[in-house]
Amino acid sequence: MFLLGKCPDDPKTATCEHQGFPNPKNCSVCVCPGGYGGRSCGDRPGDCGQELLAQDYWQPMVLNISSPQNSSEYFVCTSWIKSAPKKTIEVEIESISDDLKTYGCGYAAVEIKSQDDQRLTGYRYENRYLSS
């Protein structure tokens, strides 16, 4: 149950970035949208992945999107591509392994969040969309 108004009265209430919100159970930390972490949602989660600074030339980024030990559990690995202000980032997905081919992104997919509201699910790509 969310207790509306609990955190605004708490002087230790966290200021959250990227549309995160103070955790009603502990107002000093934030509940962050997917792809963000840390006390104020300003950090990349400590799962795995990498950060890349976009340049004016193509740069490869190789991502391993299979789960450890071939686990059937859902696996999340967060990478960020950053750019200078007012620059556009272009992404090209060259391939996704055939052994992960399923409908509905059940085992593996790449999600690209490009909208201002980072709480929303981004564009998701899986192997079946990349076949020729």
The pair of structure tokens assigned to 44 is 């990349």
Query: Residue-wise pLDDT tens for the chain (132 aa)?
Result: 455 556 777 677 889 999 999 998 889 999 999 999 999 999 999 878 889 999 999 998 887 766 556 566 667 788 999 999 999 999 988 877 666 556 666 666 788 898 889 899 888 877 665 544
Sign of the four-CA dihedral 21, 25, 26, 31: negative
- At which residue do the structure tokens 């969040």 appear? 113
